[in-house]
Homo-oligomer: A and B are copies of this chain.
Amino acid sequence: MSRGSSAGFDRHITIFSPEGRVYQVEYAFKAINSTNLTAVAVKGGETACVAVQKRVPDKLVVANSVTSVHTLTPNIGAVMVGMIPDSKFQVKRAQLEAAKWKYQNGCDMTADQLARRMADINQFYTQNAEMRSLGCAMLMIAYDEETGPQIYRIDPAGYFRGMRAVGLGVKQQAANSFLEKKFKKKSDFTYDETVQLALECLQSALGVDLKSGEVEVAVVTKSDTSFRKLADEAVDFHLNAIAERD
């Protein structure tokens, strides 16, 4: 996009350009890549898995205080990519929305409902001038009793999509190409296949071999619908399995 074509339409939060674009929302998408991370989510037969790069800025940071993986409810979790304070703001909002729903309705909010709600909130930021859009995007996973494993992608424009697999962040295009090829051949992956596909995809998109400390993996499964991170040992196991397979 050339600067000339925006001509001042990009300095107000919520106005259309003559081409019908809302520039401030488009700029918010740029902010998603500001932390230079990539995440991948894969849905198997009875598993949803999300894997995301972990890059501890320096050795002095307490490693386990750096995470892109957030529990929204006991059974719904998300990986956030983009500006970290905005990510935390959105995670907190999601937790509050889910808690409020439960309090008001006496039952758990489903991942579908929560994803929809978070997307609605993002849409509102694009229409109303009070607050800017958030510079982050969300990959949400959960296991639904009726429909099985779920992946949702929610972005600053207010879109949300149910996905079979998806990449997010700097290398999302490479990740998506990788995933599309794999899903052409097969889709009813086992638990191990699902986790390893996510990790393999991340390694392929980044062009590097990851170590257990450089990646965070979280899963939900039919047998255990709670959202949980894999321990480093488990991640190592899967990384080794991939390496041995090659």
* Interchain CB contact under 8 A, A59 and B12: no
**A43: nearest chain-B partner, CB-CB:** B62
Please classify how large the interface on chain A is, using the bins under 10, 10 to 19, 20 to 34, 35 or more.
35 or more
- Bound form: Cα–Cα A15–B6 in Å: 15
* Interchain CB contact under 8 A, B12 and A11: yes
* Interchain CB contact under 8 A, A62 and B28: no
A62 touches which of B12, B57, B130, B162 (Cβ 8 Å):
B162
Which residues of chain B come closer than 8 Å to A164, judged between CB atoms? 59-62
- Bound form: Cα–Cα A82–B176 in Å: 25
- Bound form: Cα–Cα A21–B10 in Å: 13
Given the contacts A20-B31, A28-B20, A161 and B123 also touching, CB distance less than 8 Å: no
> Please, what's the 1-or-0 string for A171-205, where 1 marks a CB less than 8 Å from any CB in chain B?
00000100110011000000000000000000000
Given the contacts A60-B163, A127-B132, A180-B60, A20 and B11 also touching, CB distance less than 8 Å: no
A135 touches which of B16, B27, B57 (Cβ 8 Å):
B16
> Please, what's the 1-or-0 string for A120-141, where 1 marks a CB less than 8 Å from any CB in chain B?
1011101111111111000000
Partner-B contacts on A (CB < 8 A):
1, 3, 6-24, 27-34, 57-62, 64-66, 83-86, 88-89, 92, 116, 119-120, 122-124, 126-135, 151, 157-159, 161-166, 176, 179-180, 183-184
Given contacts A20-B34, A62-B151, A62-B164, 18 further A-B contacts (CB under 8 A): A1-B18, A13-B14, A14-B132, A15-B24, A16-B27, A16-B31, A16-B135, A19-B30, A20-B28, A20-B33, A57-B161, A60-B183, A83-B157, A85-B120, A85-B126, A85-B159, A88-B158, A127-B131
